[in-house]
Amino acid sequence: MDNLITGSEGNIVHLAGRRDFRFIFQDVTEYIYIDGPIDAVLHFASPASPVDYLKYPIQTLKVGALGTHKALGLARAKGARFLLASTSEVYGDPEVHPQPETYLGKVNAIGPRGVYDEAKRFAEAMTMAYHRAHQVDTRIVRIFNTYGPRMRLDDGRVVPNFVGQALRGEPLTVHGDGSQTRSFCYVDDLIEGIYRLLLSNYTLPVNIGNPAEKTIRELAHLVQEMTGGTSEIVIHAQKRIEDDPQTRQPDITRARGSARLGAADRP
């Protein structure tokens, strides 16, 4: 289910002929009606690139709030398990490094990134409220920076941006001085982790990501090297979005502990 505000049907054409796959074009902030039984509701709806959520600030707040409410309502009505895709952005520009799930974060609610951060923080609160008040069987994954096939080249996130720029022979645009860090996880590994979490019985938030941390400048050099070294690296000091986190690295101790549960439960 998707309203394709930032996604594209092209990403799922290869699934179109499958009898066990169905696509529903819908905005999940509206009431969701599904006929028949449901085992699990996985709520991933939201713009996730800073460029996208700055372009759609109100839709981002609405999908985190109203969309999470509708998706939880569906899970409750069907007696289905519910998984929320949350984010490392709930930690804001962190003062604790690396970030364990117990860190409560440093978020600027009224800054430009606040629309995403607060939407996801509200979504986590709503998920725990449905868990406690309605006994919905819930899971919360906090997803750290991820990359992989089928990202839009104009998605705005740093990996597709740098790769696209390098392949077009354009300069790689480092925002700020490039000393800020991120930790990038390949999408297949992320999905494996999320699937194990879904099958586990762990109801508190779990970080999933790759703890290998890099500066953005190091990432630019890596992309430059891997694409043949012809693109130059340029520093755009003023392009850095306000409240852009200076450091980010997941503490995945909790995931390592609960991973065993998921692995044992696997069909």
Site residues, ligand UDP (CB under 6 A): 49-50, 145, 156-158, 161, 173-176, 180, 182, 216, 240, 244
Which residue number, 76 or 152, has a Cβ lying nearer to ligand UDP?
152
C-beta of 223 vs 259, nearer to ligand UDP: 223
Question: Across-strand partners of 102?
Answer: none
Cα(87)–Cα(140) distance, integer angstroms: 9
Q: How far is CA 252 from CA 144, 171, 219, in A?
A: 11, 34, 22
In the complex, least distance from residue 216 CB atom to ligand UDP, rounded to whole angstroms: 5
- Do residues 92 and 245 lie in contact, with contact meaning Cβ atoms separated by under 8 Å? yes
C-beta neighbour count of 132 within 10 angstroms: 11
Q: For 185, phi and psi rounded to 5 degrees? A: -115, 135
Comparison of 209 and 262: residue with beta carbon closer to ligand UDP: 209
- Tell me if residue 103 is catalytic: no
Query: What would you report as the CA-atom Rg of the chain, rounded to the nearest whole angstrom?
Result: 19
| Cβ closest to ligand UDP, residue 73 vs residue 148 | 148
DSSP letter, residue 65: I
| Given 116, 130, 186, 202, the catalytic residue | 116
Q: Could you list the active site residues?
A: 116
